[in-house]
């Protein structure tokens, strides 16, 4: 029997302990899902930023090895998400006419549903002050989310040069000379790319003396990753003196994690070192979005503890939202979300 989205929401376990205003905020963000038999609802390996729930019909969950499991809608399956590990390890296909709903992960995070305190077995008693502080943090998290949705807050943008070079390489119509000319439009970027091409990591028998030679030596994919990495320092810069020091600390920390990821990836087969470097560099990009809009929230700016808690609560899903907007690969998105 078909049920309304509101009825379905009241049956979801992770929403059971929400305050009335939190529940209403989550309900406002719910999106209905309808699919005909045979429709691929969720692709294996994807991470679209939503949590899915089945309310009517039957779906098939398919693993990488081809093993399938059928799930039919009932009171038990409505309580928990469908194929919720990220990136998705299961594809979800409709086996009949299917109805369901999906909730943005960032909304669940703002409500505290994805927070560490609400994980099963980790809920602890808290005094009235703690409860009030958590509610205030949740309200602030929802406000940041709403501002992001209405473009009232500043999300970091992918540096223009890195974006143009990435598009040129991914379109598969540009040769090394074309890409090199784009790099040469930024002398500092060109110098860094030449230095990388002649480093012990990539160096050949002779010195690469031009950007074209550097791109040929590095290859298109490595060039793309390195240009993005070199350009990202812009994202960590601000004109706001209130948060400049915090941004500098964030850049230093992210650079150190990136270096560690790069070294570890070189020791592990099947992992591209440059992508690992990028994952490390971007793992805290969600914190930048919060710091960029701190002027709008004076209570947050003046309370270090609340600021840290809000960053801790929101940075993962905010980071994932930003990296999806930049259309970066699922492993990079997962690195920010799970950091």
**For the chain, what are the domain ranges?**
5-124, 160-337
Residue pair 298/269 in contact by the 8 Å Cβ criterion:
no
Please check the confidence at residue 120 and state whether its pLDDT lies above 60: no
Q: Which helix (H) or strand (E) holds 238?
A: none
DSSP state of 336: H
Mean pLDDT of the chain: 85
Q: What is the average per-residue pLDDT within 205-220?
A: 89
Please check the confidence at residue 155 and state whether its pLDDT lies above 70: no
Considering only CA atoms, which of 150, 203, 161, 167 is closest in space to residue 183? 161
Instruction: Return the axis-axis angle of helices 211-218 and 176-184, rounded to nearest 10°.
Output: 120
Q: What is the average per-residue pLDDT within 150-164?
A: 74
Q: Helices in 90-159 by DSSP H: which ranges? A: 105-111, 128-149
Q: What is the average per-residue pLDDT within 192-220?
A: 88
Can you tell me whether residue 33 is helix, strand or coil? strand
Residue pair 295/242 in contact by the 8 Å Cβ criterion:
yes
Tokens of 140: 């602030």
Tell me how far apart the alpha carbons of residues 215 and 209 are, in angstroms, rounded to a whole number. Answer: 11
Residue appearing with tokens 């230093």? 252
Tokens of 31: 């999106």
pLDDT value for 128 = 61
The confidence band for 117, taking pLDDT boundaries of 50, 70 and 90, is very low
Is the entire prediction scored with pTM above 0.85? no
Please check the confidence at residue 322 and state whether its pLDDT lies above 50: yes
DSSP state of 159: P
The confidence band for 60, taking pLDDT boundaries of 50, 70 and 90, is very high
Per-residue pLDDT tens over the stretch 161-171: 888 888 888 88
Q: Kind of pairing, strands 91-94 and 58-62?
A: antiparallel
Rounded (5°) CA angle 36-37-43: 85
Tokens of 280: 């490390």
| pLDDT-wise least confident of 15-24, 151-160, 173-182, 244-253 | 151-160
Q: Which of the following CATH numbers is that of domain 5-124: 3.10.20.30, 2.40.50.140, 1.10.260.30, 2.60.120.10?
A: 2.60.120.10
pLDDT value for 217 = 92
Tell me how far apart the alpha carbons of residues 135 and 14 are, in angstroms, rounded to a whole number. Answer: 17
CATH number listed for the domain at residues 160-337: 1.10.3210.10
Per-residue pLDDT tens over the stretch 265-290: 989 888 888 889 999 999 999 998 88
Q: What is the average per-residue pLDDT within 142-164?
A: 75
Please check the confidence at residue 57 and state whether its pLDDT lies above 80: yes
Please check the confidence at residue 158 and state whether its pLDDT lies above 90: no
Tell me how far apart the alpha carbons of residues 96 and 54 are, in angstroms, rounded to a whole number. Answer: 12
The confidence band for 130, taking pLDDT boundaries of 50, 70 and 90, is low
Reported as half-sphere exposure (CB side, CA atoms, 13 A), residue 250 has a value of 26
Tell me how far apart the alpha carbons of residues 216 and 284 are, in angstroms, rounded to a whole number. Answer: 32
Tell me how far apart the alpha carbons of residues 313 and 149 are, in angstroms, rounded to a whole number. Answer: 18
Please check the confidence at residue 15 and state whether its pLDDT lies above 90: yes
Residue pair 239/247 in contact by the 8 Å Cβ criterion:
no
């Amino acid at each position: 029997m078909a049920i309304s989205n509101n009825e379905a929401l009241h049956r979801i376990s992770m929403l059971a302990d929400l305050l009335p205003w939190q529940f209403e905020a989550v309900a406002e963000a719910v999106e209905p899902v309808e699919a005909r038999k045979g429709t691929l609802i969720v692709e294996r390996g994807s991470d679209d930023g939503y949590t899915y729930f089945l309310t009517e019909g039957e779906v098939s969950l398919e693993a990488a090895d081809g093993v399938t499991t059928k799930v039919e809608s009932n009171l038990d399956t409505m309580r928990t998400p469908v194929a919720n590990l990220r990136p998705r390890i299961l594809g979800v296909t409709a086996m009949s006419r299917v109805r369901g709903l999906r909730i943005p992960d960032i909304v669940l995070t703002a409500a505290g549903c994805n927070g560490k305190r609400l994980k099963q077995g980790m809920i602890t008693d808290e005094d009235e002050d703690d409860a009030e502080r958590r509610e205030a943090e949740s309200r602030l998290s929802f406000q940041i989310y709403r501002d992001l949705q209405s473009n009232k807050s500043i999300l970091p943008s992918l540096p223009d040069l890195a974006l143009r070079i990435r598009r040129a390489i991914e379109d598969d119509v540009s040769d090394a000379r074309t890409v090199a000319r784009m790099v040469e439009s930024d002398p500092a970027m060109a110098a860094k790319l030449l230095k990388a091409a002649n480093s012990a990591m990539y160096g050949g028998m002779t010195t690469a003396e031009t950007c074209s030679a550097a791109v040929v030596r590095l290859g298109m994919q490595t060039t793309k990753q390195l240009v993005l990495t070199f350009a990202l320092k812009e994202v960590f810069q601000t004109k706001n003196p209130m948060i400049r020091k915090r941004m500098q600390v964030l850049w230093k920390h992210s650079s150190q994690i990136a270096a560690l990821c790069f070294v570890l990836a070189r020791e592990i087969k099947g992992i591209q070192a440059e992508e690992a470097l990028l994952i490390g560099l971007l793992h805290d990009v969600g914190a930048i979005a919060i710091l960029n809009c701190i002027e709008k929230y004076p209570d947050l700016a003046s309370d270090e503890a609340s600021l840290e808690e809000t960053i801790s609560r929101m940075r993962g899903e905010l980071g994932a939202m930003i990296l999806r907007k930049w259309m970066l690969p699922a492993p990079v998105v997962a690195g920010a979300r799970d950091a």
